């Protein structure tokens, strides 16, 4: 596989693949790589605030271990040997605090690793620390974090997107080579788009959710964020796989995502939903998306527009279903067992009420209240059941589309990064920004966001490619081809 680094900005860290090749060739020591990364973090994070917890000592210790293991001949096949990685702070790390960017879990140290952490460690990756996010992954700007906002490396007055804003910004700012995020309604793809990096939301069931602190269990999926399609494919290859600890994990034939890093889309059928180019889409974004489609067409893909007419229903259905699950998933934070507990209370009821009132932020409370409401007796059919039916319709709509197309192409978000504070006051407006991403989660599909230019403000624009169920390789191949042939 040939790497092209020409496209990368000067000063950005090299790709994971190039780095691990260099490490394995003995050209650079893991400890030096990690030390250098920690220095970048020290320098840049005062500005961008990507990290909640930096594992300075642990990372250096692990770097020395990995170096010794590499010297002993281990990790010969691993694309991540010695590669520094940042982890979204809703992924459990044994003995290391995992906060979900919430006061509720400010000092929570899980007694176990998430499955993906075990897999990363088995591949020789070195974890740099835990990165910022919207509280419990609820938000699209990383502004709802209890630990403060993360700033967009392409302009500090802009949000990095969310909820995996810390992960995307860390990669963009060179504070990590690659990162793990999680995506429930666009939380990997939208910040990747805003920060000008690449992120994959895999097919639901591809990556184990064991140890991912749940927001909406039926929609959550962990995925990689990196500088290139190849890096994302490599990380995905390491973290994907059947896990008996996750009942929703689905065994698939092949997890060899890097085998799809092929510069060829000849004959591939790519559909663009007309609804994805309509009202609400910024003109500059539209132009960039159509230009990207042209690039693929020039490479031999067959591109056409088609009707996917359920787009409008996706957002309300998503917010009903995700909030319903969230209201249940987050009920366990009650001050009894772990996490925040209100200092003063007279009764059990008061313990619950004050702990939860004080421990959760506003957006989390809003979604839990919506969720409790839509599940309540007398409203269940009108909201929850109806949303389930919409979900089924959305899935059917995509199924029909994938009878004709290999990949669906469109924007990741209707706009480029928003100014800090712009959306926080108007949650409905913020929710509408998820229009192109949430239906992918509702249908359980794989999707990738990758940079396809910048707007006049110099902010990155994200191209989204959606695949059929377990068609993760299809989108990787099309994305890789675009990346290799995009000359802008």
Partner 1 sequence: MKAYETVIGLEVHVELATKTKIFCGCTTEFGGAPNTHCCPVCTGMPGTLPVLNKKVVEFAVAAGLATNCTITQNCKFDRKNYFYPDLPKAYQVSQLYLPICRDGGIEIDVNGVKKVIGIHEIHMEEDAGKLVHDEWDDCTLVDYNRCGVPLIEIVSDPDMRSAEEVIAYLEKLKLILQYLGVSDCKMQEGSLRADVNLSVREMGASEFGTRTEMKNLNSFKAIARAIEGERKRQIEVIEYGKKIVQETRRWDDNKDTSFAMRSKEDAQDYRYFPEPDLVPIEISDAWLEEVRQRQPELRDEKMARYEKEYDIPEYDAALITSSKNVADLFEATVAICKKPKEVSNWLMVETMRLLKEHEMEPENIAFSPENLAKLIALIEAGSINRTVAKEVFEVVFTDNIDPESYVKEKGLLMVNDEGALRKTIEEIVAANPQSVEDYHNGKTKAMGFLVGQTMKAMKGKADPGMINQIVMELLQ
* Catalytic residue numbers, as ranges: 88, 163, 187
Report the distance separating Cα 309 and Cα 451, nearest Å: 26
CB of 91 to partner 1, least distance (A): 8
CB of 51 to partner 1, least distance (A): 20
User: Within 10 Å of residue 447's Cβ, how many Cβ atoms?
Assistant: 31
Report the distance separating Cα 129 and Cα 86, nearest Å: 6
Phi, psi of 454 (to 5 degrees): -135, 160
User: Within 10 Å of residue 154's Cβ, how many Cβ atoms?
Assistant: 20
Phi, psi of 266 (to 5 degrees): -60, 125
Tokens of 39: 């220095």
Determine if 245 is a binding residue for partner 1 (CB under 8 A). yes
CB of 154 to partner 1, least distance (A): 32
**What's the residue count for the chain?**
488
Give the footprint of partner 1 on residues 315-334 (CB under 8 A).
324-325, 327-328, 331-332, 334
Residue with tokens 């389930």: 388
CB of 378 to partner 1, least distance (A): 9
Q: Which is nearer to partner 1, 372 or 393 (CB)?
A: 372
Q: Which is nearer to partner 1, 20 or 98 (CB)?
A: 98
CB of 208 to partner 1, least distance (A): 9
Q: What is the distance between the terminal CA atoms of the chain, rounded to a whole angstrom?
A: 23
DSSP, collapsed to helix, strand or coil, labels residue 462 as strand
Q: Which is nearer to partner 1, 204 or 436 (CB)?
A: 204
Binding-site string for partner 1 from residue 354 to residue 393, where x marks contact by CB under 8 A and - marks none: ------------------x--xxx--x---x---------
Q: Which is nearer to partner 1, 254 or 376 (CB)?
A: 376
What is each CA distance from 204 to 80, 231, 241, in whole angstroms?
23, 20, 12
Half-sphere exposure of 336 (CA within 13 A, CB side): 10
What is each CA distance from 197 to 36, 96, 301, 471, in whole angstroms?
21, 27, 24, 21
Among 213, 265, 459, 479, the residue binding partner 1 under the rule CB under 8 A is: 213
Among 146, 158, 210, 257, the residue binding partner 1 under the rule CB under 8 A is: 210
Among 85, 100, 131, 285, the residue binding partner 1 under the rule CB under 8 A is: 100
Among 248, 259, 299, 342, the residue binding partner 1 under the rule CB under 8 A is: 248
Among 68, 122, 156, 348, the residue binding partner 1 under the rule CB under 8 A is: 348
Among 161, 211, 414, 469, the residue binding partner 1 under the rule CB under 8 A is: 211
Count of residues interacting with partner 1 (CB under 8 A):
42
Distance, C-alpha 451 to centroid of its chain: 15
Tokens of 179: 């990162």
Report the distance separating Cα 165 and Cα 150, nearest Å: 7
Determine if 345 is a binding residue for partner 1 (CB under 8 A). no
Q: Which is nearer to partner 1, 24 or 109 (CB)?
A: 109
Rounded to 10 degrees, what is the CA torsion of 442, 448, 449, 451? Answer: -170
Give the footprint of partner 1 on residues 103-122 (CB under 8 A).
105, 108, 110-112, 114
Q: Which is nearer to partner 1, 228 or 329 (CB)?
A: 329
Report yes or no: 460 and 189 within 8 Å, Cβ to Cβ. no
Determine if 337 is a binding residue for partner 1 (CB under 8 A). yes
Report the distance separating Cα 187 and Cα 210, nearest Å: 18
Q: Which is nearer to partner 1, 384 or 436 (CB)?
A: 384
Chain residues binding partner 1 by CB under 8 A are 91-92, 98, 100, 105, 108, 110-112, 114, 209-214, 216-218, 244-248, 324-325, 327-328, 331-332, 334, 336-338, 348, 352, 372, 375-377, 380, 384
């Amino acid at each position: 596989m040939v790497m092209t680094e020409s496209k990368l900005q000067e000063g950005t860290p090299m790709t994971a693949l190039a780095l691990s090749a260099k490490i394995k060739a003995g050209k650079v020591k893991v400890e030096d790589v990690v030390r250098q990364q920690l220095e970048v973090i020290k320098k840049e994070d005062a500005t961008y605030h990507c990290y909640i917890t930096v594992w300075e000592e642990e990372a250096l210790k692990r770097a020395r271990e990995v170096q010794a293991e590499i010297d002993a001949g281990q990790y010969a096949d691993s694309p991540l040997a010695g590669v520094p990685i940042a982890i979204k702070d809703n992924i459990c790390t044994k003995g290391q605090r995992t906060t979900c960017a919430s006061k509720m879990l400010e000092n929570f140290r899980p007694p176990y690793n998430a499955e993906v952490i075990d897999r990363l460690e088995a591949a020789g990756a070195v974890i740099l620390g835990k990165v910022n996010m919207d509280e419990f992954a609820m938000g699209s700007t990383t502004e709802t974090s209890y630990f403060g906002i993360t700033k967009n490396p392409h302009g500090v007055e802009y949000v990095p997107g969310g909820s995996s804003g810390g992960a995307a910004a860390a990669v963009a700012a060179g504070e990590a080579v690659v990162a793990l995020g999680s995506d429930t309604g666009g939380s990997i793809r939208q910040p990747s788009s805003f920060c000008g990096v690449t992120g994959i939301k895999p097919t639901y069931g591809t990556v184990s959710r064991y140890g991912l602190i749940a927001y909406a269990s039926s929609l959550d999926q962990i995925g990689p964020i990196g500088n290139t399609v190849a890096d994302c494919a490599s990380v995905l290859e390491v973290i994907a796989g059947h896990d008996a600890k996750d009942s929703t994990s689905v065994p698939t034939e092949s997890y060899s995502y890097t085998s799809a890093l092929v510069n060829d889309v000849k004959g591939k059928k790519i559909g663009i939903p007309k609804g994805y180019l309509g009202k609400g889409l910024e003109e500059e974004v539209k132009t960039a998306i159509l230009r990207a489609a042209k690039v693929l067409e020039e490479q031999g893909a067959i591109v056409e527009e088609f009707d996917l007419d359920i787009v409008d229903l996706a957002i309300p259905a998503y917010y009903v279903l995700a909030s319903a699950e969230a209201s249940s998933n987050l009920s366990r934070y009650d001050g009894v067992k772990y996490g925040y507990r209100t200092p003063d209370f007279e009764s059990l009821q008061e313990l619950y009420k004050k702990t939860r009132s004080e421990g959760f932020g506003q957006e989390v409370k809003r979604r839990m209240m919506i969720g409790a409401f839509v599940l309540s007796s007398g409203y269940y059919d009108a909201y929850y059941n109806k949303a389930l039916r919409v979900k089924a319709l959305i899935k059917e709509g995509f199924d029909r589309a994938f009878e004709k197309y290999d990949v669906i192409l469109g924007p990741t978000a209707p706009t480029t990064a928003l100014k800090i504070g712009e959306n926080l006051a108007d949650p409905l407006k913020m929710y509408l920004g998820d229009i192109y991403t949430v239906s992918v989660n509702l249908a359980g599909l794989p999707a990738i966001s990758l940079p396809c230019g910048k707007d006049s403000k110099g902010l990155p624009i994200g191209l989204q490619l959606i695949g059929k169920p377990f068609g993760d390789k299809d989108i990787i191949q099309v994305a890789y081809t675009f990346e290799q042939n995009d000359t802008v």
